[in-house]
Amino acid sequence: MADPYLRLDQLEVTFTGGRSPVRAVNGVDLTVDSGETVALIGESGSGKSVTLRAILRLNPEKKTRIGGKVTVGGRDVMGLGNKALAQFRGGEVAMIFQEPLLALDPVYTLGDQITEAIRRHEPISKADARKRALSLFERVRIPSPERRLDTYPHEMSGGMRQRAMIALALACNPKVLLADEPTTALDATVQIQILLLLRELQREFGLSIIFVTHDLGAAVEVADRIAVMYAGRIVEEGSARDIIHTPRHPYTIGLLKSRAHGAMTKGRRLDAIAGSPPDLADLPKGCAFAARCTLATDPCRQTQPELIQTETGTRARCLRTDQTLTRPGELVGA
Amino acid sequence: MLRYLVYRVVYAIPILLGVALVCFALVHISPGDPLISVLPADASVELQQRLLVIYGFDRSYPEQFILWLGRALSGDLGTSIASGRPVATEVFRAVGNTLLLAAVATVIGFFLGCLFGFVAGYFSNSWVDKAASTLAVLGVSVPHYWLGMVLVIIFSAQLGWLPATGAGPGGSGQWKWDWVHFQFLILPAVTMSVIPMGIVARTVRALVADILAQDFVTGLRAKGLGDLGVFFHVVKNAAPTALAVMGLQLGYLLGGSILIETVFSWPGTGMLLNTAIFQRDLPLLQGTILVLALFFVFLNLLVDVVQTALDPRIQRS
Ligand SMILES: Nc1ncnc2c1ncn2[C@@H]1O[C@H](COP(=O)(O)OP(=O)(O)OP(=O)(O)O)[C@@H](O)[C@H]1O
Ligand code: SF4
Ligand SMILES: [Mg+2]
């Protein structure tokens, strides 16, 4: 089998700016093949955004300690020089954000922001860059694209802004798209349109996508594989089908249960499990989920569980997967 | 944009009328007979009456106001009681001098303020920031006449590099664009620039720190921009507010420089006001205040229009 296009090896991100170091990401292994879509789900604060930013080296460099390895297209991202990094950002890996109104410069027109990105990566004229921006706007189906190029972010609706942001992300033909909750801030109907658009573009351009979301429904909709994050670690990972039908980590099961009971409708945050995540500045020695887990025993609190292959397809970071076998269909649709 | 401009200008008219009324009233509610200071102690009642009629002080207040306003609009601000020269001539010469001083001070202050502000904002909460911020606070809070005197002591009295007072050699009030005259401008302008410097630095620091903390900066980096590229975006985001603050500072300096102009004997409006007040020269006082107030209204207008033109987020209604 060929090497995966994007690969995280034991990625660690620690913020050292505050009083005590905050360990936001603690050894994440993740691979994404060319043309594959992987969803990253987990509660607020579990380190999803920090992981994405680490891939583009966007975390504040001076206040951050990075460990592990990020490889994209065979290149070691941590070793890139300034020039190569600038080319890499947007040209190889692009990112779209949750709230385009905040993620776009408010005092530049959308057209200017897109042409700026294109001209940063390629030596082409303003007019040609603008032509490309126009065709991108057409591609993401923004109505009257010519006129919209000259508008400012605040003059557009949320859905149109997100389309513009996607156009900006695709402007320099990246191979990987990092989507950080691209639909959370949108209405339900607009969410679906954006998801469909992303899936369509993904097929057309053969993009690899890491799709961060709180929304299991959206994850299943677009992702080939799902990785569940908790306290800066991936606690369970597998094909979307296996995660949904035979989850083995108690946290994943909790997420699915809360969804099955209707406690989590589309777009709502994953907050239906009792208790709260651990303090990232003071992580427990053993399993980080132990304080909230009904199956927790002493060994759970003593040793850090490894990610193990379960017989039902997923890989789970849990010592007691023998206790977590659910009947197929029990958690979904039943 | 044109509609907005017309709207703003029309909107300024009632303000201007109010300003004129206040200027007029200001003088008439002050106690004392306006002619006392110019009349000889043994002046006859008849002479007093004649002067009252000449200056128009015998009419009713509304009448006086209308007449005064009408004349003011046609450029006639009356005659200075103390000097006997037209107020308009005196005021405009002084305004020219003050404008020069204020403009140079604002430019110096804006430049240094932006420099300190940007450095402090980029390195917010580091020692660089603290040093720059301390300097800014000092600039706003140090008494300026005191600073002026210190500078005079150092650069004029001790080192003898620069002249201490006046706007030209031999105490002439006539400005010329040459080095001989420019020397006279340096000390008062530097003294005065400390005010806008401090305020601009504080504003820009807050602006820059706030802009850099916004999500879109991450967005800019994510599309491959380097530090310089991001810097241009920060400048464009900060510009409308920073320029507005600069404009307002220029306005304040135009009117608020009495102390500095007095310390340096700079023949501007501040010194003119000073003279008018101490000599109880009412027409001169009225005229000076009116012109200064007009300037301020005009400057506010300009600042608003420029800010609106620069910042797409402000609704143009
Ligand atoms: N620059 C930073 N400095 C210090 N701590 C940070 C920084 N960025 C993120 N964190 C912390 O890292 C942790 C993980 O944050 P992250 O944004 O990755 O969470 P998330 O999973 O994306 O959550 P959400 O679903 O709310 O977006 C949080 O506790 C957050 O406070
Ligand atoms: S290791 Fe123990 S505490 Fe952690 S999830 Fe599994 S059973 Fe629960
Ligand atoms: Mg996030």
Give the pLDDT score at B302.
81
Give the pLDDT score at A228.
95
**Dist. CA A92 → ligand 1 center (Å):** 24
Contact of A66 with A12, CB cutoff 8 Å: yes
How far apart CA A236 and CA A324 sit, in angstroms, is 13
- Across the interface, whether the CB atoms of A89 and B222 are under 8 A apart is answered yes
**Dist. CA A7 → ligand 1 center (Å):** 21
User: Which residues form the pocket of ligand 2, taking CB atoms under 6 Å from any ligand atom?
Assistant: A 250, 287, 289-290, 293, 295-296, 300, 305, 318-320
Give the pLDDT score at A250.
92
Q: Do B58 and B195 belong to one domain?
A: no
Give the pLDDT score at A263.
42
Q: Is the pLDDT of residue B25 over 50?
A: yes
Q: Do B128 and B258 belong to one domain?
A: yes
Give the pLDDT score at A208.
94
How far apart CA A16 and CA A65 sit, in angstroms, is 7
> Which segments of chain A have a pLDDT < 70?
1-2, 259-272, 326-334
Q: Is the pLDDT of residue B230 over 90?
A: yes
Q: Which residues of B touch A108 (CB under 8 A)?
A: 233, 236
The minimum-distance atom of ligand 1 relative to the CA of A214 is 25
How far apart CA B246 and CA B253 sit, in angstroms, is 10
Q: Do B61 and B199 belong to one domain?
A: no
B2 against A146, higher pLDDT: A146
Sign of the C-alpha dihedral computed for residues B128, B130, B133 and B137 taken in this order: negative
Does the C-beta of A17 come closer than 6 Å to ligand 1?
yes
Q: Which amino acid is at A331?
A: L
Position B19 confidence tier, pLDDT thresholds 50, 70, 90? confident
Give the ligand whose atoms come closest to the C-alpha of residue A213: 1
Give the pLDDT score at A330.
60
Give the pLDDT score at A328.
56
Q: Do B262 and B202 belong to one domain?
A: yes
Protein residue closest via CA to atom 17 of ligand 1? A49
Give the pLDDT score at A6.
95
Whether B82 maps to a domain, the answer reads no
Q: Global pTM?
A: 0.80
Give the pLDDT mean for B251-256: 72
Give the pLDDT mean for B259-274: 83
Whether B272 maps to a domain, the answer reads yes
Nearest chain B Cα to A106, which residue? B313
Domain boundaries, chain A: 101-173, 230-262+270-332
Q: Please tell me the least confidently modeled range out of A46-50, B172-176, B236-240.
A: B172-176
Q: Which residues contact A150 (CB under 8 A, 6 or more apart)?
A: A109, A110, A111
Nearest Cα residue to B89 out of B289, B286, B288: B288
Contact of B194 with B109, CB cutoff 8 Å: yes
Give the pLDDT mean for B87-95: 84
- Across the interface, whether the CB atoms of A97 and B229 are under 8 A apart is answered no
Domain tally, chain B: 2
Position B267 confidence tier, pLDDT thresholds 50, 70, 90? confident
B145 against A133, higher pLDDT: A133
Q: What ipTM was reported for this prediction? A: 0.86
Nearest Cα residue to B204 out of B108, B300, B133, B106: B133
Q: Which residues of A touch B225 (CB under 8 A)?
A: 86, 116, 120
Q: Do B220 and B297 belong to one domain?
A: yes
Q: Do B173 and B32 belong to one domain?
A: no
B312 CA to chain A: closest CA distance, Å?
6
Helices B282-310 and B269-278: crossing angle, nearest 10°?
150
Q: Do B153 and B264 belong to one domain?
A: yes
Whether B171 maps to a domain, the answer reads yes
Give the ligand whose atoms come closest to the C-alpha of residue A317: 2
Give the pLDDT score at B170.
64
CATH of the domain at B161: 1.10.3720.10
Strands A22-32 and A6-15: antiparallel
pLDDT digits (tens, 9 = 90+) for B99-108: 888 889 999 9
Does the C-beta of A48 come closer than 6 Å to ligand 1?
yes
Give the pLDDT score at B39.
65
Q: Is A192 left (phi over 0), alpha (psi -120 to 50) or beta?
A: alpha
How many other C-beta atoms are found inside a 10 Å radius of the C-beta of residue A274? Answer: 8
Q: Do B172 and B32 belong to one domain?
A: no
Q: Do B40 and B97 belong to one domain?
A: no
Whether B221 maps to a domain, the answer reads yes
3-state secondary structure at position A241: helix
Residue B20 belongs to domain spanning: 2-73
Q: Is the pLDDT of residue B97 over 80?
A: yes
DSSP A153: G
Q: Is the pLDDT of residue B89 over 90?
A: no
Q: Is the pLDDT of residue B238 over 50?
A: yes
Give the pLDDT score at A163.
93
Whether B80 maps to a domain, the answer reads no
pLDDT digits (tens, 9 = 90+) for B240-253: 889 888 888 887 78
**Dist. CA B124 → ligand 1 center (Å):** 21
Nearest Cα residue to B109 out of B234, B208, B202: B202
- Across the interface, whether the CB atoms of A107 and B221 are under 8 A apart is answered no
Q: Do B175 and B303 belong to one domain?
A: yes
Does the C-beta of A280 come closer than 6 Å to ligand 1?
yes
Whether B83 maps to a domain, the answer reads no
Q: Do B10 and B124 belong to one domain?
A: no
- Assigned token pair, B168: 């030209």
The minimum-distance atom of ligand 1 relative to the CA of A48 is 21
Give the pLDDT score at A107.
92
Nearest Cα residue to B299 out of B241, B252, B242: B252
How far apart CA B55 and CA B64 sit, in angstroms, is 10
Among B48, B73, B98, where does a domain finish?
Answer: B73
Q: Do B49 and B158 belong to one domain?
A: no
Contact of A169 with A96, CB cutoff 8 Å: yes
How far apart CA B248 and CA A3 sit, in angstroms, is 62
**Dist. CA A42 → ligand 3 center (Å):** 10
Give the pLDDT score at B183.
75
A314 CA to chain B: closest CA distance, Å?
32
